[in-house]
A and B are shown apart, each in its own frame.
Chain A
Amino acid sequence: MNCYMFPGQPLSRSRGIPQDHDGEQIAELCRRHALFDPESWEWLTPDGTDNVALQLHGVAMSLHGARTLKKGGVTPGIVAEHSMGIYPAAALCGSLAEESVLEITSRGGRAMAAMGSSRHYSLGCVVGLTVEPVTALAENHGVYLANVNTDRHFLLAGELDPMNGAMAEALAVGAFSANSFSCDAPLHTPLMGELEGELRAIFSDYRYRDPQVPLMNHVDQCCLCGSDLADFMYRELLLPVQWERTYRALRSAGVDHFFEVGQGDSLKKYNRWLESRWEGS
């Protein structure tokens, strides 16, 4: 069975949206509905940020990738998502139109970016430690475990200064690498609760149809129906991404071919790591 995997926000723009018919269509939808031009990389609204631009770029690349795969005859038996990958995943499943997905990404992203106007937030990528020391150092510094990607790959989120301390401690206790990146908002942490009213209002503005392809969520590995989606889109921002559990659940469901739909290949690499751990155990 084939699985389309939709990744979350890329940390950088490694390449532009393809200059083909689908790329031009998606870029136009982005301009009209998200107020961002992914070709010129310019905002058409004053409250856009670099991070929201990256979020929109990631979603646009995923929409393009999904169109390309479908045209190539690759039919998904199930769909999985990581973090903001829920938005293009919802489009692929037929729950939302592509333009709605771009609009939600833009509106939600700009609402979340407002958090960063009063405080500086950061993401911390820790590679090589197990979950116990990562959890401990997060607690020591008052930051949060935001992604459990494998048994050795984690993402923390929180305020900038505590994150710098957490990264230093991670290296001191033997992490293979520990790097931080600035972000607008501490996604996948309880801190996002301060935007509950605003975010729920955005997500409830849309009508969600039931997915035409099973859509597995990264929080509890259940498949979502249309009536779950608005609530899930808010709740997932408060809870850690559980990619390792999701991958295991997908394999148990019978997936034997994975297609990463979007920029980069992080999810494929996490899967490769998990496979190699099983083979070696």
Chain B
Amino acid sequence: MSESLIEPVKQLIIDALRIEGMTTADIDSDAPLFGEGLGLDSIDALQLVVAMEKEYGVVVPDAATGTTVFQSVRSMAAHIAEHRK
């Protein structure tokens, strides 16, 4: 179930963060989103929280959950698959 969300989640990241010159093929599904990976920060994370809620109706209720959810594209997809309405 969550595997089918991998590509849409990558596209969501590109669209929500308005990343220019990047395609879904450029994003590793298992790479860290923060730090060494895509290099995202807390500003980006909140943007992704809002985008996930808007697109899938999925909430990230607190910082601790966010730490788990935003580990990678795959963990985002798993969270959406588990909680989408």
Contact = CB atoms under 8 A, between A and B. Distances in A.
B46 A276 contact: no
Interface size range of chain B in the complex = 10 to 19
A280 B54 contact: yes
A171 B62 CA distance: 8
Q: Is the interface of A mostly helix, strand, loop or mixed?
A: mixed
Contacts of A179: 42
Contacts of B50: 276
Contacts of A276: 16, 47, 50
Interface size range of chain A in the complex = 10 to 19
Interface in A177-205: 177-179
B63 A269 contact: no
B38 to A, nearest CB: 13
B54 A269 contact: no
B18 A272 contact: yes
Contacts of B14: none
Nearest to B39: A14
A270 interface: yes
B47 A127 contact: no
Contacts of A125: 42
A174 B61 CA distance: 8
B63 A273 contact: no
A176 B43 contact: no
Contacts of B66: 176-177
B47 A273 contact: yes
Interface in B18-75: 18, 41-47, 49-50, 54, 60, 62-63, 66
Contacts of A82: none
A269 B43 contact: yes
Contacts of A178: 63
A127 B18 contact: no
Contacts of A171: 62-63
A176 B44 contact: no
Given A175-B63, A177-B63, A178-B63, A272 B17 contact: yes
A149 to B, nearest CB: 9
A273 B17 contact: no
Contacts of A152: 46
A64 interface: no
A169 to B, nearest CB: 13
Contacts of B42: 125, 127, 176-177, 179
A69 B60 CA distance: 39
A179 B42 CA distance: 10
Contact of B43 (A153, A174, A175, A280): A153
A131 to B, nearest CB: 15
Contacts of B41: 269
Interface string A140-176: 0000000000001100000000000000000100111
B61 to A, nearest CB: 8
A269 to B, nearest CB: 4
Contacts of B17: 272
B43 A127 contact: yes
Given A176-B49, A272-B18, A266 B63 contact: no
The 5 closest A-B pairs by CB, nearest first: A269-B43, A177-B42, A127-B42, A176-B46, A177-B63
